[in-house]
Amino acid sequence: MSDISQYTQQACQLLSDMIAIPAESFHETKKADFLCSFLESEGLSAARYGNNIVVRQPENDPGKPVLMLNAHIDTVAAAAGYSFDPLNPPADRTRILGLGSNDDGASVVCMIFTFIHTMKERLELPVNLLLALSCEEERSGERGMRMLRRIVEREADFAIVGEPTGMKAAVAERGLLVVDATCEGRSAHCAHAELGDNALYKAVEAISAIRQLQFGKVSPTMGPVGLNVTQINAGTAHNVIPDSCSFVIDIRTTDSYTNEEIMELLQQAAPQCGMKARNMLNHASATPQGHSLLRTAASLGVETYISPTTSDWMRLSIPAIKMGPGDSNRSHKADEYVYRGEITDGLKKYLDFITNIQL
C-alpha cells in the first residue's frame, strides 16, 4: 500500500487552484464546476445537487455502514486588512496562503485525496465512503447542507465534518441563536417627556431581566448556555423621546435546551419586548455516548474537545464528529493560511481514522 502523504503536493496545488476561484456563500458555481471536473479527471463520478457535490464509492459493500466525509467549498467575504490579494496570494515555502485556505479548503482537499487514495489502492475498509462537498455553509443557506441532508442521510450512517480543528476531534459543538428584540414606546419632545413613553428605558429594563435569566439545566458536555446582549439602537435626536429601541441577543446554546425553549424563557423574562430569532435551525450537536466515532478517537489517542463554533454538523441528524486540518483561530481573518505540513497531517490522520474505525 502506497503512502498517502505522496498526495501532499497535489493536494496543495488543488488548494491553490481553489483559492483562485471566488466562492463566497451563494456564489460557488465556478468552484463547484472546477471541482466536478477535477474529480471526474481522477476517474470519479461526481453527482451535482445545485452547487453541492457528492461522490459515492463505486462498489459499496451492503454489509458495511456508510461514513460520510463532509467539508464545505464556500468562503466568507475577504476580511479587511489583507497584505496580499486574497485570491492571488504569493507563493510561500511552508504555507498555502489565501481566502478559504484554512476554512475550509484544507479539509476539502484532504478529504478528496483520502477518498482518491482509498479508491485507487482498493483498500479494504471497515466502512463504505461517501464524499459530500457542501455549499452555503458560511451563511446557513437553504441550498447547502439544509437541502443536501435529505439526499445524503438516506445513504450515510455517520459522518466526519471537516473543519479546522488541528485534527483534534470535536465531540460536541455549541449552537447559535441570534435574537432581535424590540421595545415600543411613544415619542415626544424632551421638554414634554411626560407625554412620551421612553422605549429605551423599557429596553434597559428588559436587558436587565434577560441578564438575570437563569438556565437551570447545565449540559454535562457543554456547560451552561452562554447569553450576551451585543447591540442596541434607539433614538433619532438628542431632544426626542425614542419610540422604539432594538437590541440583539447572542446565545450560544447547548443540548440541554431546544431553541424553542430558550425563546419561551426569553419572552417570559421580558414580555414588554417583541422578539424574533434570525434562525431557529442552528442547534447544538453532540456525538452520542459510546458511539463508534468516540471509541475510534479513544483507541487512536485523538484528543477530543467541545467546539465553540458551528458547522454543517448542526444540520445533520446522523452521528458525527468535527475534525480537520488547520486552526480555527485563523478563520475569517486577513492573511488566512494553512501550513503544508498540516495538509500532510490531515491526509495521514483521516486515513488512519477511517481504516481503524471501531464498529
| 179 and 143 belong to one structural domain | no
| 17 and 101 belong to one structural domain | yes
Q: Is residue 144 within 8 Å of residue 27, measured between CB atoms?
A: no
Final residue of a structural domain among 244, 277, 310: 277
Pairwise CA distance, residues 281 & 315, whole Å: 7
Pairwise CA distance, residues 47 & 29, whole Å: 14
Q: Residue 90: what residue type?
A: P
Pairwise CA distance, residues 261 & 292, whole Å: 31
At residue 1, the pLDDT reads 54
| 10 and 132 belong to one structural domain | yes
| 213 and 227 belong to one structural domain | yes
| 29 and 155 belong to one structural domain | yes
> 70 has which bridge partners?
132, 161
| 125 and 9 belong to one structural domain | yes
Please provide the DSSP assignment of 280-314 as one string: S----EEPPTT-HHHHHHHHHT--EEEESS--GGG
At residue 96, the pLDDT reads 98
Which CATH number do you get for residue 139? 3.40.630.10
CA angle, corner 332, sides to 139 and 114, nearest 5?
80
Specify the number of domains making up the chain: 2
CA angle, corner 154, sides to 323 and 56, nearest 5?
65
| 33 and 164 belong to one structural domain | yes
At residue 150, the pLDDT reads 95
| 139 and 33 belong to one structural domain | yes
Residue in 110, 144, 80, 90 with CA at minimum distance from that of residue 310: 144
Full domain range(s) for residue 241: 175-277
| 29 and 94 belong to one structural domain | yes
At residue 269, the pLDDT reads 96
Q: Cα–chain-centroid distance for residue 39?
A: 24
pTM, two decimals, is 0.88
Final residue of a structural domain among 277, 303, 327: 277
| 28 and 144 belong to one structural domain | yes
Q: Which residues of the chain have pLDDT under 70?
A: 1
Q: Residue 39: what residue type?
A: L
Which CATH number do you get for residue 256? 3.30.70.360
| 153 and 34 belong to one structural domain | yes
Residue in 346, 309, 314, 350 with CA at minimum distance from that of residue 331: 309
Average pLDDT of the chain is: 96
Of the chain, the percentage scoring pLDDT greater than 90 comes to 94
At residue 106, the pLDDT reads 98
pLDDT digits (tens, 9 = 90+) for 116-151: 999 999 999 999 999 999 999 999 899 999 999 999
Residue 315: phi and psi, rounded to 5, are -95, 0
At residue 334, the pLDDT reads 96
At residue 220, the pLDDT reads 85
| 264 and 135 belong to one structural domain | no
Final residue of a structural domain among 251, 277, 303: 277
